[in-house]
Amino acid sequence: MNGNQLLGPYIRTFFEDYLTCRRNMTINTIRSYRDGIKLFLGFTAKASKKPVTSLQVTDVKEAMILQFLKHLETERSNAIQTRNQRLIAVRRLFAYIAGQEPVLLDPCQRIVSIPLKRGAEPPPVRYLSQAEMTALLAAPDRTTALGQRNHALLLFLYNTGARVQEAADLKLAWLSLRPPAKVDIFGKGRKWRTCPLWNETARTLRQYIEMQRRGCGSEDTLFVNRLAAPLTRAGIENIVGRCRTQAAKTTQSLGGRDVTPHTIRHTTAMHLLQSGVEMNVIRAWLGHVSVATTDHYVNINFEMKAQALKTCEAVAGTGRPRRWIRPHADVLAWLKTL
């Protein structure tokens, strides 16, 4: 067995060197790649009847990758979008291997050239109405310390449209609460963006810091739990879920709905769009890399307006046609009769 063709060592350097050091990818992206590669290794080991430690690069054929992708869709019921994400992880792994070992270029190139499947639909955009968002913001009990923190967190998410990890990573030094208030957000793709803060948001965050984060260093995390440890993604999602349950007691439309931090992000985008904010501003506000991502909100807003227009036409069409009186030849005389 040629030790240079073992798959295991390449996978290790792919994660430890390529993704982490060379590409400087975020931990969430690395974990997504990890999950995809784990599924791929398990399927390949079973199909080739070899232990994972004995798998060689040449054991992986183009046909085997296609079988793996079919397995994801049929047996794991993965959507096309998820299936494509797994394929991207595998393709990047073999592109990396081809760059490390030219002898393996041909079999790796066959795998890298497998196309993504077309027809992937973007996940549905679920957002809240103005009344629902107001009820959610009012849900925390602000007479308690945790309620004050939860209200500040919800208001920050709504103001900035931040992703859940961006809110979890937020440090005190990234805030500027003096007019004009703003926040620097370290976002997806390790890119920074600056987002303005409303006066109410700045005031709420200032009160939260003075009461619960006084004396903390500038590099300390803003949102923490009862033990003063940074809130995790799961912790923030749990807070949003509990606030949704509380808000549903006064707003029936929230009952039974799955409201997540990303729902609030979609809500921010839709409310900005409906308020007439320019698309490029919304794109920068949310930190979208792809133009198509922001345009998706435009399509939804257009469909809403088209539906509203149809409703108006239906109402207008229920009455009798108006009989228009032909105006007098002398327009001035006719106008006097009005």
Point out the residues that are catalytic: 163, 188, 262, 265, 288, 297
Residue 98 neighbours by CB distance under 10 Å:
19
How distant, in Å, are the alpha carbons of 167, 221, 296 from that of 314?
Answer: 45, 54, 27
CA-closest candidate to residue 157, choices 261, 10, 311, 34: 261
Paired tokens of 263? 């729902």
Torsion of CA 146, 152, 156, 158, to 10 degrees: 90
How distant, in Å, are the alpha carbons of 23, 181, 190 from that of 92?
Answer: 12, 41, 19
| 179/201 Cα distance (integer angstroms) | 12
Residue for token digits 């081809």? 98
CA-closest candidate to residue 5, choices 146, 76, 104: 104
DSSP assignment of 177-239 equals -SSSPEEEEEEGGGEEEEEE--HHHHHHHHHHHHHHSTT--TTSBSSB-TTSPBPPHHHHHHH
Phi, psi of 213 (to 5 degrees): -125, 20
Query: With contact defined as beta carbons under 8 Å apart, do 161 and 183 qualify?
Result: no
